[in-house]
């Protein structure tokens, strides 16, 4: 069976840690709750024989599940199967994770964010084709890799909207837009960390895929911090936070 533990990191974000050879599955902790519910219910149907097959994935790894065995597939390595585990085991992991999130809700109040900003409890992310409602970090595939589609992505909070690819977008680094002092202030304000690579400082978060840098998009109403993910071109998006100005 899979050995795992659940915890909250230093900024209060729920995480899980899987021990041993299956630690690649730690990326599943970033699934939004709606998707997590779908995974749990679908795996239940597979185990009960109502579905013959169900596959799901989050970033790199796909879990392809039949009644007895689930295969973990590396989608970045020609869809190579890297491990097999009992479907019951992956079901229990996702079910326990769902129950942990229900019993340990995220506290949205954040004392490190200045008083004129508020983290909305709910927001809608539109990826150019589909709308996704979430109340936490969003991390999933884009509906289309076509720039003409995903460049129209927006975040909406009630009647406020920001086109995050087009509106005042800046990379959170000292390469172009920010000096060290300004980047550190933003990192403190939004609970980010700072790392240095090749004498350039970057803001980052532990929940983020390391393949892309964080960007900030702002208009008069909203601020969104996000990262586009993918090997050669954007294939997914990680939304760290949505803030109402």
Examine residue 112 and state whether it is found in any structural domain, yes or no. Answer: no
167 lies in the same domain as 216: yes
pLDDT band at 158 (very low <50, low <70, confident <90, very high): confident
DSSP 162-201: E-TTTSSEEESBTTTT--HHHHHHHHHHTT-EEEEETTEE
92 lies in the same domain as 143: no
Residue 207 has pLDDT above 90, yes or no: no
Per-residue confidence (pLDDT) for residue 208, from 0 to 100:
62
Per-residue confidence (pLDDT) for residue 113, from 0 to 100:
44
Whether the Cβ atoms of residue 104 and residue 96 lie closer than 8 Å to each other: no
pTM listed for this prediction: 0.53
Could you tell me which residues come within 8 angstroms of residue 189 by beta carbon, excluding any fewer than 6 positions away?
A: 112, 113, 114, 117
198 lies in the same domain as 226: yes
Examine residue 115 and state whether it is found in any structural domain, yes or no. Answer: no
| DSSP 8-state class, residue 41 | H
Nearest in space to 140 (alpha carbons), one of 27, 38, 46: 27
How does strand 193-197 pair with strand 200-204?
A: antiparallel
Examine residue 35 and state whether it is found in any structural domain, yes or no. Answer: yes
Helix (H) or strand (E) segment spanning residue 204? strand 200-204
Domain end, chosen from 52, 72, 103, is at 103
Q: How many domains does the chain have?
A: 2
132 lies in the same domain as 206: yes
Examine residue 13 and state whether it is found in any structural domain, yes or no. Answer: yes
Examine residue 234 and state whether it is found in any structural domain, yes or no. Answer: yes
Q: Residue 212 has which token pair?
A: 């892309």
Residue 104 has pLDDT above 80, yes or no: no
Could you tell me which residues come within 8 angstroms of residue 171 by beta carbon, excluding any fewer than 6 positions away?
A: 177, 213, 214, 215
Per-residue confidence (pLDDT) for residue 161, from 0 to 100:
93
Per-residue confidence (pLDDT) for residue 105, from 0 to 100:
62
Axis crossing angle, helix 87-103 with helix 33-47, rounded to the nearest 10: 140
CA distances from 139 to 62, 157, 176 (A): 15, 18, 26
Stretch 186-211: mean pLDDT, rounded?
A: 82
Dist CA 40 CA 109 (whole Å): 29
96 lies in the same domain as 147: no
Examine residue 22 and state whether it is found in any structural domain, yes or no. Answer: yes
180 lies in the same domain as 79: no
155 lies in the same domain as 192: yes
Q: Domain of 55?
A: 4-103
Residue 59 has pLDDT above 80, yes or no: no
Examine residue 12 and state whether it is found in any structural domain, yes or no. Answer: yes
**Contacts made by residues 187-194, CB under 8 angstroms, sequence distance 24+:** 188/112, 189/112, 189/113, 189/114, 189/117, 190/112, 190/113, 190/225, 190/240, 190/241, 190/243, 191/11, 191/110, 191/112, 191/113, 192/225, 192/240
Dist CA 174 CA 143 (whole Å): 31
Examine residue 117 and state whether it is found in any structural domain, yes or no. Answer: no
């Amino acid at each position: 069976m899979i050995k795992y533990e659940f915890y909250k990191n230093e900024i209060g974000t729920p995480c899980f840690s899987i021990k041993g050879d299956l630690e690649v599955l730690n990326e599943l902790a970033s699934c939004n709750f709606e998707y997590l519910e779908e995974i749990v219910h679908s795996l239940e149907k597979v185990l009960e024989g109502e579905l013959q097959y169900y596959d799901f994935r989050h970033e790199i790894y796909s879990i392809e599940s039949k009644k007895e065995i689930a295969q973990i597939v590396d989608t970045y390595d020609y869809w190579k199967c890297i491990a097999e585990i009992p479907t019951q085991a992956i079901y229990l992991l996702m079910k326990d994770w769902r129950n942990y999130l229900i019993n340990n809700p995220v506290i949205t109040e954040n004392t490190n964010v200045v008083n004129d900003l508020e983290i909305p409890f709910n927001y809608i992310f539109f990826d150019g084709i589909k709308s996704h409602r979430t109340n936490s970090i969003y991390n999933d595939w884009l509906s289309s890799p076509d720039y003409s589609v995903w460049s129209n992505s927006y975040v909406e909070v009630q009647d406020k909207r920001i086109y995050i690819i087009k509106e005042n977008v800046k990379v959170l680094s000292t390469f172009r837009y920010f000096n060290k002092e300004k980047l550190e202030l933003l990192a403190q304000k939004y609970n980010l960390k700072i790392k240095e690579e090749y004498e350039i400082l970057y803001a980052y978060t532990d929940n983020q895929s390391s393949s892309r840098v964080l960007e900030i998009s702002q208009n008069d109403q909203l601020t969104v911090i996000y990262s586009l993910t993918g090997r050669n071109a954007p294939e997914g998006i990680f939304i760290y936070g949505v803030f109402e100005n």
